[in-house]
Amino acid sequence: MSPVNLSVRDEQLRELMDDPDCDPVRLEATLRRFHLVNRLISGWDQVYRRRLRPTLLRLDRPARVLDLGSGGGDVVTRLAQLAARDGLQVDWTGADPDPRAHEAAQHTQNQRLQRVQGVHGAPSVRFLCADADALLAAGERFDVVVSNHVLHHLDAPGLLDFTEASRRLSTGTVLHSDIARGRLAYSLYAVGITPLAPGTFLRTDGLRSIRRSYRPEELAAALGAAWTVSSPAAFRLIAEAPGRG
């Protein structure tokens, strides 16, 4: 078998979960297991400590934070747990235009949140089945907009629409986190995902995700001068821009 070519993004690959007719049982299992995968590889605890918490503390009032493309909802739930433990009051929203993801998030995450008691009681997250345009049309604005693993799903016009709309939704800052494409990331994921993959799309879609993902310099070129793209940890990239809301 010839080795996978990772020197260029493979935009033609489609992830199984992006098929509206994919197996719903496997999709739900995939969305539910994202919380383990994200805890292991996405580095949001570090992003929270280094970038989000200082921003929330500076506001000196309850903040509004949106996770755009929140999928199964585990990243925004984890952020809500971390902020509750720090005694921060935040209105959290997770929005995803895919009704299957929205349903999974609503079903799973509020149970998880009940297990955490912050100084202001259990945190909660509002989950909406909506894309950025619907949120803008509804007049929603946030202090911070984040996303995880959405950028690599999008084609070139979709990437610009998504990132521009995320800036319009934010009056403060925008942070989009994703995988950085690379041979080592691909090889380690192929081995490491094995125990978590049965009954899910995690193996096929994770490897396709890496092949669709950007290197930091590619993403910087695609997004343009308003955005700063950095690599906060191995195999990760983060794109940051000021909001325009």
Ligand X SMILES: C[S@@+](CC[C@H](N)C(=O)[O-])C[C@H]1O[C@@H](n2cnc3c(N)ncnc32)[C@H](O)[C@@H]1O
Contacting residues toward ligand X, per CB under 6 A: 34, 38, 68-72, 74-75, 96-98, 101, 131-132, 148-150, 153, 158, 162
CB of 48 to ligand X, least distance (A): 14
Say if CB 69 and CB 96 are below 8 A apart.
Answer: yes
Say if CB 123 and CB 92 are below 8 A apart.
Answer: yes
* Backbone dihedral region for residue 9 (phi beyond 0: left; psi -120 to 50: alpha; all else: beta): beta
Parallel/antiparallel/unpaired status of strands 170-179 and 236-242: antiparallel
CB-nearer residue toward ligand X: 150 or 219: 150
CB-nearer residue toward ligand X: 117 or 231: 231
CB-nearer residue toward ligand X: 87 or 244: 244
Please give the residue whose beta carbon sits closest to ligand X in the complex. Answer: 71
Say if CB 105 and CB 96 are below 8 A apart.
Answer: yes
Of all helices (H) and strands (E), which one includes residue 39?
helix 24-41
CB-nearer residue toward ligand X: 64 or 153: 153
CB-nearer residue toward ligand X: 48 or 162: 162
CB of 101 to ligand X, least distance (A): 4
What is the number of alpha carbons within 13 Å of residue 166 lying toward its C-beta? 32
Token pair of 193, please? 């995902």
